[in-house]
Structure 1
Amino acid sequence: MRHAAPVLPPAEAADPLAIVSPRPGHQGCCSPTDALDARRVADRLGIPLYALDLSVEFEQIIDAFAADYGSGRTPNPCVRCNAWIKFGRLFDHADAIGAAHVATGHYARLEQEPSGPALRRGLDTARDQSYVLFDIRPDRLRRMMLPVGGLAKADVRARAAALGLVTADKPDSQEICFVAPGEHARLVAHRLGGSRAGEIVDSSGRVLGRHPGIEHFTVGQRQGLGIAVGTPLHVIRIEPETCRVVVGSRSEVPETRLVAGSATWLEAPPTGSFDCLVQCRAQRTAAPAVVTLLSADRFTAEFTGGPDHSPGPISPGQPAVCYAGDRLLGGGWIEG
């Protein structure tokens, strides 16, 4: 449970209850400290709190995280957590206890339209989290509640303070909850039975040095390459079969086209090709593109905004999320 979730006015939630899934030894939104805060908030609001053991599901997320890095991809575990746990297993539990809705503190909005509920960016665009919700099942939208998406963060904190909640001034959680900052490579190496070390080469195949493991790198990366050739170098490709990291100039970093698979569409996309905005990383701005459906769950995106409206480096393993204005249409996982 995120600390902002219980600010719903009573009229908006009949017989509310709270659920938390603490992870011993973890940080961020899943730590024992957060579980204790959830207990204090629930007590203050006079609502029951249930603890769920989702350790098996969390292990699956960590395994997928490690497998992606080991395959040369850059994973986004928050998307997996939302799809598999917050809007997956949590809905299963809601069904088991007869709960009508599931509310979370994600910064996004749900609006009712003639065709059904639409998922939109949060009004506080600097904190928008709709990007990490693209992979949830479309049928979940009718039972979802996102009560803080139409508020500024200051307003949420003010409401929490007015209710006397101990979390009103609690710092935001931005880290990956299951690994400390800067330690992901060690976790991946442990899960995969060792680092995937290899050569650093340029685009012609010339060996420039060696690296400690492909899990240390992502496409577009410039810092921490461990080599110097007199000109700036960026990661332009990771080759998991040979464990080679390919580097080149900034102009060689892929930013103009992508292919995405395992797509989820919250509403039926137009057939053929269509114009939209595509976001390729959580903290980046969506860029104009022409999206072409290859099948029901695969698409290409050709970016049309030029250097001034680039999507940034395109990293396999990250989501490519399509928007019509601020309305989320769907998205997929970048293959290349």
Structure 2
Amino acid sequence: MGRRVVLAMSGGVDSSVAAHLLKQQGYEVIGLFMRTGAHAETAERRAKTCCSVTDALDAQAVADRLDIPFFALDFERDFSRIMDNFADEYLAGRTPNPCVLCNVWLKFGKLWAYGKQVGADFVATGHHARIVTDPDGSPQIARALDAGKDQSYVLFGLRRELLPNVLLPVGEYSKEAIRDLARELALPVHNKQDSQEICFIPDDDYLRFVRDRRPGSSEPGRIVDEDGNEVARHEGIEGFTIGQRRGLGIAFGEPRYVVQIEPQSKTVTVGRREALEKGGLEANRFNWQVPRPKGPLACSAQIRARHRAVPAVVEPLDGDRVRVRFDSPQPAVTPGQIVTVYDGDLVLGGGWIDCAIDPADVA
């Protein structure tokens, strides 16, 4: 079997150590950096992103240190689609997850297509997740050894037929062990902090980005309480997300949260925390990582990157839709975000949350 692998190198410690691990395992490693056109102006902000000019230089320095070929690919036009989607989702009252699209469209899409052009047999990244073999010999995505750093949640969208060609070398290590390895190898990024922000919004001002990207698209509307009484006005639903508490500009004497966003009427509903509790959800564009079940399937469901997966049942609906019913209600089920369902550590599949289901409506 071939041993050439293209590795997405972001200039961070995980992908840098991944290059070493792959080379140690006998692979011919080609490092690839995705030039996206996203920029960060200050040193502090650059340290929190993953695709700035400084990151490219860091990745190049690591490649030189490890003596592997390195190329920067121009993905700016393709990445523009991700930024457009981000803005459009907020304007539609949803809260997007651009990193998932980056994984599916670019890292395991365009980057792998380039890899095949140069005769690569595998594509690899520094994600904290694993590829394991199930009893029938098929590869499956699984949680990382380091549960606190696990990123399997965002990999549900990978095509099943691609998995035999995917390598995730850091998933078998704790984050501490990865940093120790980087230090032992004297990699220049050994103490570089993890990226914490969306790379094309280094100042963390999502609202300004959306309005700059789509000027003139904001539409004012009402903010109402759970009884439908108007309590304030807003300048655009893109300024809100489900579960939001701060920045509402309303004084109630006790906490209020965004519990619903109605894109047609441009209405934002605020309520008490208990109104955030939902019994389930429906998701679309669901990608099964196992054969599509014929009926309801017990699982655990994760609805945010920092959400602990909870017992649930996933049921296939028509087309690429599913319904997920939680064993106990969960807070802030957010349209536009993703749900990934698991069997233990194994990813069963995932999709994009379309709507939440009230506890009383869960059969």
The two structures have a TM-score, normalised by structure 1, of: 0.95
State how many pairs are aligned.
332
Q: How big is each residue's C-alpha offset from its partner over 1:264-289, in whole Å with a ceiling of 9 and x where there is no partner?
A: 11111321111101111111111111
Letter of the 1:277 counterpart: S
> Is 1:255–1:312's contact at 8 Å kept on the other side of the alignment?
yes
Displacement of 1:247: 1.1
Which residue of structure 1 lines up, in the alignment, with residue 6 of structure 2?
Answer: none
Task: Determine the structure 2 residue equivalent to 1:71.
Answer: 92
Asked if 1:235 is matched to 2:235, the reply is: no
- What amino acid is the match of 1:177? C
Output the aligned Cα RMSD.
Answer: 1.5
Code of the aligned partner of 1:19: L
| Residue deviations 1:102-123 (CA, integer Å, cap 9, x gap) | 1110000111223311111111
- Structure 2 counterparts to residues 213-232 of structure 1, below 5 A: 213-232=236-255
Which structure 2 residues correspond to residues 160-171 of structure 1 after superposition, within 5 A?
160-171=182-193
Q: Percent identity?
A: 44
Q: Alpha-carbon deviation of 1:11?
A: 4.3
- Name the SS for the 1:30 alignment partner: coil
Deviations 1:154-208 (A, max 9, x none): 1111112222210111111111000024311011112222333321111322110
Alpha-carbon deviation of 1:290? 1.4
1:261–1:32 Cα change, 3 Å? same
Query: What secondary structure does 1:219 align onto?
Result: coil
Which residue of structure 1 aligns with residue 359 of structure 2? none
Equivalent residue for 1:156?
178
SS in 1 for 2:171: coil
Structure 1 residues 83-111: Cα deviation after superposition (integer angstroms, max 9, x where no partner): 00011101100111111111110000111
Deviation at 1:254, TM superposition (A): 4.3
Contact preservation (8 Å) 2:198, 2:204? no
2:43 alignment partner in structure 1 = none
Asked whether 1:96 is paired with 2:120, we answer: no
Offset at residue 244 of structure 1 (A): 1.4
Deviation (angstroms), 1:13: 4.0
From 119, 141, 153, the equivalent of 1:131 is: 153
Could you tell me which residue of structure 2 aligns to residue 279 of structure 1?
A: 302
Aligned to 1:62: 83
Rounded Cα–Cα distance in structure 2 between residues aligned with 1:197 and 1:124 = 45
Partner of 1:183: 205
Which residue of 2 is the match for residue 121 of structure 1?
Answer: 143
Give the one of 277, 281, 301 matched to 2:324.
Answer: 301
CA contact (8 A) 1:279 1:311 kept: no
Q: CA deviation at 1:231?
A: 3.1
Distance 2:58 2:285 in 1: 36
Q: Tell me how far apart the structure 2 counterparts of residues 180 and 11 of structure 1 sit (CA, whole Å).
A: 34
What is residue 22 of structure 1 aligned with on the other side? 35
Inter-partner Cα distance in structure 2 for 1:291 and 1:23: 36
Q: 2:283 aligns with which of 241, 256, 260?
A: 260
Cα drift, residue 17 of structure 1? 1.0
CA contact 1:22–1:34 (8 Å) conserved in 2:
no
Partner of 2:230: 207
- 1:312 corresponds in structure 2 to 331
Question: What is the aligned partner in structure 2 of residue 321 from structure 1?
Answer: 340
Correspondence 1:29-44 to 2 at 5 A: 29-44=50-65
Judge which range, 68-77 or 253-262, deviates more. Answer: 253-262
1:9 shift after superposition: 4.8
